[in-house]
Chains A and B, each alone.
Chain A
Amino acid sequence: MLSQTARVDRVFHALGDPTRRAIVEKLCEGPLSVSRLAEPLDITLAAVVQHLQVLEKSGLVRTEKAGRVRTCRIEPDGLTVAEKWIMDRRSLWQRRLNRLGNLLAESDD
């Protein structure tokens, strides 16, 4: 099990590359095979596979091989790591005022 710091490092490293971000954006729309994923990216299949390895290690993407086809899908928990890290960096007052909004949204009195 990776430490939280190591997970955050890997997620931001993975997202620090425009091609990998493009892969994540594409997969957010739905699962795709590696070859379908490579088509609009204009890079070699080997390069896509390398990017996918980085994304898999970061926990952002999962791939599964069925027969001769490898299917890639987004792993929502991976994005939660990045989201939580950023949310935790917001200032105390910003977090308080967010909670105030939640409180006002749930009570009608």
Chain B
Amino acid sequence: MTERSVVHSTFAIERSYPASPERLFAAFSDPAKKRRWFAEGEEFQIEHFEVDFRVGGIETARFRSKDGRQTFQNDTVYRDILENRRIVIAYNMSAGQTRISASLATFEFIPNGKDTDLVFTEQAAFFEGADGPEIRKEGWRLLLGQLEKELAR
């Protein structure tokens, strides 16, 4: 696809974790912990992962597909950090040398009894060729529609 286009989208994901806001926050502020849930566990190799967790600090994560052909990179800047309460990041996603999205993402930690609720909100601009979450969400919606059709047969 060579046509130029920008798709804007905002979406939120809410989760509740049986942990204090302090422990949840530590999973973001401690680079070793962050690496384990953020970068590991996907079907690609981690080529580079570096976190400078402070306002204005930069985080770089670079991945390579298993066949070695494609690289993906996340370039993140921490825009706001309120200890145990809120983290705001701005980030680009790139496929090879091409930037495919630019986003502002907010993590809010809200105590809820013994648990902590996490509200993740992403406000994103997806560029041409993007395989961003919104497009995946759309893909997911279509796939569920297909499954529904198959179930209705």
- A: which residues have CB within 8 A of B? 12-13, 15-17, 89-97, 99-105, 107, 109
Q: State which of B26, B137, B150 has its C-beta within 8 Å of the C-beta of A16.
A: B150
> Which listed residue (A89, A93, A102) contacts B13, Cβ 8 A?
A93
Give min CB distance, A90 to chain B, whole Å. 7
Q: At the interface, is chain A mostly helix, strand, loop or mixed?
A: helix
Nearest to A105 among chain B residues (CB) is B18
Residues of chain A with a CB closer than 8 A to B67's CB: none
Closest to A108 in B: B23
Interface residues in B, total, Cβ within 8 A: 29
B143 in contact (CB, < 8 A):
yes
Q: Does B136 contact A (CB under 8 A)?
A: yes
Q: Note all chain A residues with C-beta closer than 8 A to B147.
A: 12
**CB contact between B120 and one of A97, A99, A104 (< 8 Å): that residue:** A97
Cα separation A15 to B40 with both chains bound (whole Å)? 33
Listed in ascending order, the chain B residues whose CB lies under 8 Å from chain A are: 13, 15, 17-19, 23-24, 26-27, 33, 36-38, 40-42, 118, 120, 122, 133, 136-137, 139-140, 143, 147, 150-151, 153
The verdict on A99 contacting B41 (CB below 8 Å), with A93-B13, A105-B18 known, is: yes
Tell me whether B19 and A104 are in contact (CB under 8 A).
yes
Give the nearest-CB partner of B40 in chain A. Answer: A99
Nearest B-chain residue to A92, judged by Cβ: B133
Rank and list the top 6 A-B pairs by shortest CB-CB distance, nearest first. A99-B37, A16-B150, A100-B37, A104-B19, A91-B136, A91-B133
Residue in chain A with minimal CB distance to B144: A89
A93 is contacted by which of B24, B122, B139, B140 (Cβ under 8 Å)? B122
Q: Which residue of B lies closest to A18 (CB)?
A: B151
Cα–Cα, bound, A101→B136 (Å): 22
A16 touches B153 (CB 8 A): yes
| Interface pair B150/A13, CB less than 8 Å apart | yes
Residues of B within 8 A of A109 (CB): 23, 26
Residues in A neighbouring B33, C-beta threshold 8 A:
103, 107
Inter-chain CA distance A89–B18, complex, in Å, is 26
- Measured in the bound complex, the distance between the Cα atoms of B26 and A12 in whole Å is 41
Chain B residues with Cβ below 8 Å from A89 are: 136, 139-140, 143
Does A93 lie within 8 Å of B150, measured CB to CB?
no
How far apart are A72's CB and chain B's nearest CB, in angstroms? 22
